[in-house]
Chain A
Amino acid sequence: MSLDLEMEEIFKIFFEESFEGLDLMESSLLNLDVNADRETINSIFRAAHSIKGGAATFGFMEVSNFTHGVETLLDEMRNGTRPVTPDAIQLLLQCVDGLREMIKAVQAKTPIDTQRIATLSDEVAQLLARHPGRPAAPAVQAAAPAVVTSAVVVPPLAPAADSAPAFLEGGPGWVIQFQPHPDMLRTNNEPLRMFAELERLGRLRVTADVGAVPPLEELEVDACHLKWRLELAGAVEKHAIEEVFDWVDANCSISYEYCAGQGAAPVGATPPAAEPAAVAAEAEPAAVATPAAAAAGAAPVAAAGHKGPADAGSIRVSTTKVDHLINLVGELVITQSMLSRFADGCSADELDKLREGLTQLTRNTRELQESVMQIRMLPISFAFNRFPRLVHDLSRKLGKKVELKLSGEGTELDKTVLEKISDPLVHLVRNALDHGLEKPEVRLAAGKSETGVIELAAFHEGGNIIIEVKDDGGGLNKARILSRARERGLVGADAELSEEQIHNLIFAAGFSTAETVSDVSGRGVGMDVVRRNINDLGGHVQIQSVEGHGSTIRIRLPLTLAILDGQLVRVGSETYVISLVAIVETIQAQRDRINTVPGGAQLFRLREEYIPIIRLYDLYGIEPDSRAIEDGLLVVVEAEGRRYGVLVDDLLAQQQVVIKSLDTNFRQVRGLAGATILGDGTVALIVDVTGLVHVFNESFAAGETLAA
């Protein structure tokens, strides 16, 4: 069992490394567009080669066979026998996608999209065939002797695997994958004799796979391009079979799988509880194809079928971070031993030492907390890396010339935030490309350079991370946005809106100014989702745009979701926490600057703006110190591009609070983001400003609408 777990671990590493390799291939391929230097091709080749090798070792033959074609293509480019053409790069990029899908499928133990893979490998084969003049076999042999010599991709074994139990008729038996190396025949070993030997042990069925046989003109007569699948019925001892293949051991890849017979499903193919039986059949081909290289008996087979928890999620942490943590824990131990001296009491003259120890403990704790948080931090390049590809593909499709500039890829942020920000970013970049940047001819006419620039930047500012998506395109067309908004009834016909308010309209649900809906964007479902996602993360979005000169979308996000920089406020006897990110300023409210509008809502004149006053005690039903506005303080917060004044009795400390979910034991409450535990052990509720504003607006929904 522990072996299974170990294998599971190794698989995990293989998957992780493969995905990294694919990412590397992708980014390098995109670089090839610009400069096709040897080193770049080499690095792509190496990545493909490791994926192929790994896949073959673990028995993911479909992956390894497919990668093989890709590798051959790359090898030719590397050797200079094949020019690096945009078409080839495009095909290779598609292959990277295909491989990624395939490895994902293997990882999830779902069936591989064989149709698509077959099409892709056909294309690769065609491309390879178009450039003869050099035999495919020797180059490949040198690269990976353990793999079949051919550029033709072997069809997947799934149908054969399905029929295995039928042949074995539910009785015990062995399924043997026998794949001789091409030169086996040259060593005077005859497969037929071995099969005859096997037949003495029990009923035998032999299926030959001829998929790897090269076209006639490339065929070397004494090379073996066949591989076989042997099904042997009967409770045969494993070593008896091994004996048969003893002589060719070094010249072939071979794997054995024991089928225990009816009742007990084939070893290793046992699906986890509640998995339909069909999945077991799907998982089998991968399990069956384990080559000898990794096969220490049937163990890998068992491991392949054993499913770990679907996605436990793992983080790669740099050793420096771990070392730092270990150092800090060491310091903590020292502090602890220093403090433990005082366990039996402390004389007056030692008091200073005690204080010093406590100070040190405070420092240790804080540093430790920061370092532990650091573990969850990943550089934003994880999100940025996919953009070169996206921009490359999109700009082709839209016929625009684009240069993508990335900066601050090293900026770190919490893994959860990172995962959730990726999709909104994709949306913004797509938008910038589709709506923002103009076609080359339009750009030239406007006196700009033909190539548009999209900039993605990330940097820290205070306790937040800022991500900017900037384009030098046409900018937001205010007149068009306004007229469209009026058409949709989002804005009253005669309402006067500030520039910022007009810009914010693009975040309204269902809003799109694109004349035609393309498959890139224009359905108007994007921006409201973007804003909602970002708000959910406790951040907010801003737009700056100058017509004719481009737009900048600025996302401000907290570094982590677990901790929040909060302002503690008091209303009556209750303490609430308001996120500092949402707070614009806090002011003393004067009565003469307050107007009451019909419907009961009160507005406060803040410089030239009128902001609605939210009385927390009314919304939350608590008794405040005083209901007179001038006795309280107005905390001006910003939500969804508008400002509100939250009336509280008093401001308390500003501190970092750890966010605890209310949902765990209770349920989510509208207007609250969660709760936290204060230094004195009591619970304080964290105000979700956006939610609060919604609750507030609804409380007026029945009566008069709030004048903007």
Chain B
Amino acid sequence: MSTTAKTADKRMDATAAGEQYLTFQLAGEEYGVDILRVQEIKGWERATRIPHAPHYVLGVINLRGAIVPIIELRKRFALESSDFGPTTVVIVVKVMGERGERTVGMVVDAVCEVYNVAADDLKAPPEVGSSVDTTFVKGLATVESKMIILLDIDRLINASVLDGLDAAAA
């Protein structure tokens, strides 16, 4: 649909092995999401607050006529919140859930790179005790001697948007 996804498609053909990830910065760490899920990247704009939403849901914005919720990933990961700067962007992703496809925006510090990650380079997330939730971490990958945390968008957003809200409403 978007140009990003289209170019990604082409490159996928070229590199048949492995998947491509768009990486972004969040409090010094680099995270990656499946690039085929990224619909577009846009600058931060003020969102309309939704009452009784979990604290990490900043609100909703108008994305060409569609009402799209915005999630602040720092808050979602219980990281310290920081002011939005010039590099702050919203990554608009498509999330597959029980109710079909939904479009959600994630606020991140900055976008970085697009990497190819071969399936072999993907390592399972370490067990860090039961107190740390790692269900939405798909795995870890080392690219150019950096560690990238690859996220499972479907789990991340579903768990957060829906359950979070239920918890808040209860």
Contact A665 B49 (CB under 8 A): no
Chain B: which residue is nearest A675 at the CB level? B67
Set of chain B residues within 8 Å of A677, measured between Cβ atoms: 62, 65, 67
Give bound CA distance, A667 to B100, whole Å: 13
Set of chain A residues within 8 Å of B103, measured between Cβ atoms: 665
Given contacts A661-B67, A665-B104, contact A670 B165 (CB under 8 A): no
Interface locus among B5-13, B30-38, B50-58, B119-127: B50-58
Set of chain A residues within 8 Å of B57, measured between Cβ atoms: 666
Given contacts A665-B102, A666-B161, A667-B161, contact A682 B48 (CB under 8 A): yes
Contact A665 B48 (CB under 8 A): no
Partner of A672, one of B46, B47, B51, B169: B51
Given contacts A619-B51, A664-B102, A667-B161, contact A682 B67 (CB under 8 A): no
Q: A228-251: which residues lie under 8 A (CB-CB) from chain B?
A: none
Chain A: which residue is nearest B169 at the CB level? A670
Partner of A667, one of B48, B49, B62, B162: B162
Judge whether B61 is part of the interface by a CB distance below 8 angstroms.
yes
> Within the complex, what minimum Cβ distance (angstroms) separates A578 from chain B?
14
Q: A643-672: which residues lie under 8 A (CB-CB) from chain B?
A: 660-662, 664-667, 669-672
Contact B104 A669 (CB under 8 A): no
Given contacts A665-B102, A683-B61, A683-B62, contact A621 B51 (CB under 8 A): yes
> Within the complex, what minimum Cβ distance (angstroms) separates B157 from chain A?
10
Set of chain B residues within 8 Å of A670, measured between Cβ atoms: 52, 169
Contact A622 B49 (CB under 8 A): yes
Set of chain A residues within 8 Å of B59, measured between Cβ atoms: 683
> Within the complex, what minimum Cβ distance (angstroms) separates A464 from chain B?
26
Partner of A675, one of B48, B51, B53, B165: B48
Interface string of B50-78 (1 = CB under 8 A from A): 11110001011110011111000000000
Interface string of B99-127 (1 = CB under 8 A from A): 00011100000000000000000000000
Give bound CA distance, A675 to B52, whole Å: 15
> Within the complex, what minimum Cβ distance (angstroms) separates B44 from chain A?
14
Set of chain A residues within 8 Å of B60, measured between Cβ atoms: 662, 666, 675, 683
> Within the complex, what minimum Cβ distance (angstroms) separates B39 from chain A?
11
Set of chain B residues within 8 Å of A683, measured between Cβ atoms: 47-48, 59-62, 67
Set of chain B residues within 8 Å of A662, measured between Cβ atoms: 50, 60, 67
Give bound CA distance, A405 to B103, whole Å: 51
Chain B: which residue is nearest A681 at the CB level? B62
Judge whether A574 is part of the interface by a CB distance below 8 angstroms.
yes
Interface string of A663-705 (1 = CB under 8 A from B): 0111101111001010001111100000000000000000000
Given contacts A665-B67, A667-B162, contact A685 B62 (CB under 8 A): no
Q: A66-109: which residues lie under 8 A (CB-CB) from chain B?
A: none
Contact B49 A666 (CB under 8 A): no
Set of chain B residues within 8 Å of A672, measured between Cβ atoms: 50-51
Set of chain A residues within 8 Å of B61, measured between Cβ atoms: 683
Contact A620 B51 (CB under 8 A): yes
Set of chain A residues within 8 Å of B47, measured between Cβ atoms: 683
Contact A665 B51 (CB under 8 A): no
Chain B: which residue is nearest A674 at the CB level? B67
> Within the complex, what minimum Cβ distance (angstroms) separates B161 from chain A?
7
Chain A: which residue is nearest B100 at the CB level? A664
Contact B51 A664 (CB under 8 A): no
**Could you say which interface size class chain A belongs to?**
20 to 34
Give bound CA distance, A699 to B104, whole Å: 30
> Within the complex, what minimum Cβ distance (angstroms) separates A295 from chain B?
42
Partner of A574, one of B49, B68, B169: B49
Set of chain A residues within 8 Å of B102, measured between Cβ atoms: 664-666
> Within the complex, what minimum Cβ distance (angstroms) separates A500 from chain B?
31
> Within the complex, what minimum Cβ distance (angstroms) separates A615 from chain B?
12
Set of chain A residues within 8 Å of B50, measured between Cβ atoms: 662, 666, 669, 672, 685
Given contacts A662-B60, A664-B67, A683-B60, contact A671 B51 (CB under 8 A): yes
Contact B67 A660 (CB under 8 A): yes
Contact B162 A685 (CB under 8 A): no
Give the one of A620, A664, A666 with max B CB within 10 A. A666
Set of chain B residues within 8 Å of A665, measured between Cβ atoms: 66-69, 102-104
> Within the complex, what minimum Cβ distance (angstroms) separates A191 from chain B?
57
Q: B64-94: which residues lie under 8 A (CB-CB) from chain A?
A: 65-69
Set of chain B residues within 8 Å of A682, measured between Cβ atoms: 46, 48, 62
Interface string of B159-170 (1 = CB under 8 A from A): 001100100010
Set of chain A residues within 8 Å of B51, measured between Cβ atoms: 619-622, 669, 671-672, 685
Give bound CA distance, A671 to B52, whole Å: 10
Give bound CA distance, A685 to B47, whole Å: 11
Set of chain A residues within 8 Å of B169, measured between Cβ atoms: 670
Set of chain B residues within 8 Å of A660, measured between Cβ atoms: 65-67
Chain A: which residue is nearest B51 at the CB level? A620
Give bound CA distance, A675 to B62, whole Å: 10
Set of chain A residues within 8 Å of B48, measured between Cβ atoms: 574, 675, 682-685
Give bound CA distance, A619 to B50, whole Å: 11
> Within the complex, what minimum Cβ distance (angstroms) separates A619 from chain B?
7
Set of chain A residues within 8 Å of B67, measured between Cβ atoms: 660-662, 664-666, 675, 677, 683
> Within the complex, what minimum Cβ distance (angstroms) separates B135 from chain A?
20
> Within the complex, what minimum Cβ distance (angstroms) separates A459 from chain B?
34
> Within the complex, what minimum Cβ distance (angstroms) separates B103 from chain A?
5
Set of chain A residues within 8 Å of B46, measured between Cβ atoms: 682
Chain A: which residue is nearest B102 at the CB level? A665
> Within the complex, what minimum Cβ distance (angstroms) separates B96 from chain A?
13
Give bound CA distance, A661 to B69, whole Å: 12
Give the one of B47, B65, B67 with max A CB within 10 A. B67
Give bound CA distance, A672 to B161, whole Å: 17
Give bound CA distance, A305 to B9, whole Å: 39
Chain A: which residue is nearest B53 at the CB level? A669
Set of chain A residues within 8 Å of B165, measured between Cβ atoms: 667
> Within the complex, what minimum Cβ distance (angstroms) separates B34 from chain A?
19
Set of chain A residues within 8 Å of B104, measured between Cβ atoms: 665-666
Chain B: which residue is nearest A676 at the CB level? B67
Give bound CA distance, A238 to B62, whole Å: 61
> Within the complex, what minimum Cβ distance (angstroms) separates A686 from chain B?
11
> Within the complex, what minimum Cβ distance (angstroms) separates A65 from chain B?
44
Contact B66 A664 (CB under 8 A): yes
Interface string of B127-168 (1 = CB under 8 A from A): 000000000000000000000000000000000011001000
> Within the complex, what minimum Cβ distance (angstroms) separates A91 from chain B?
49
> Within the complex, what minimum Cβ distance (angstroms) separates B117 from chain A?
28
Set of chain A residues within 8 Å of B49, measured between Cβ atoms: 574, 620, 622
Chain A: which residue is nearest B104 at the CB level? A665
Chain B: which residue is nearest A617 at the CB level? B51
> Within the complex, what minimum Cβ distance (angstroms) separates B130 from chain A?
28
> Within the complex, what minimum Cβ distance (angstroms) separates A683 from chain B?
4
Q: A472-492: which residues lie under 8 A (CB-CB) from chain B?
A: none
Set of chain A residues within 8 Å of B52, measured between Cβ atoms: 620-621, 669-671
Chain A: which residue is nearest B162 at the CB level? A667
Give bound CA distance, A574 to B50, whole Å: 10
Give bound CA distance, A666 to B49, whole Å: 13
Query: 5 A-B pairs, CB-CB below 8 angstroms?
Result: A620-B52, A660-B65, A662-B60, A665-B102, A666-B60
Enumerate chain A interface residues (CB-CB to B < 8 A). 574, 619-622, 660-662, 664-667, 669-672, 675, 677, 681-685
A-B pairs, top 10 by smallest CB distance, nearest first, are A620-B51, A683-B48, A666-B69, A665-B102, A677-B62, A675-B67, A660-B67, A665-B103, A683-B62, A665-B68
Enumerate chain B interface residues (CB-CB to A < 8 A). 46-53, 57, 59-62, 65-69, 102-104, 161-162, 165, 169
User: Beyond A574-B49, A671-B52: 17 further Cβ-contacts under 8 Å?
Assistant: A574-B48, A620-B52, A660-B67, A661-B67, A662-B60, A665-B103, A666-B50, A666-B67, A666-B104, A669-B50, A669-B51, A670-B52, A671-B51, A672-B51, A675-B67, A683-B61, A685-B51
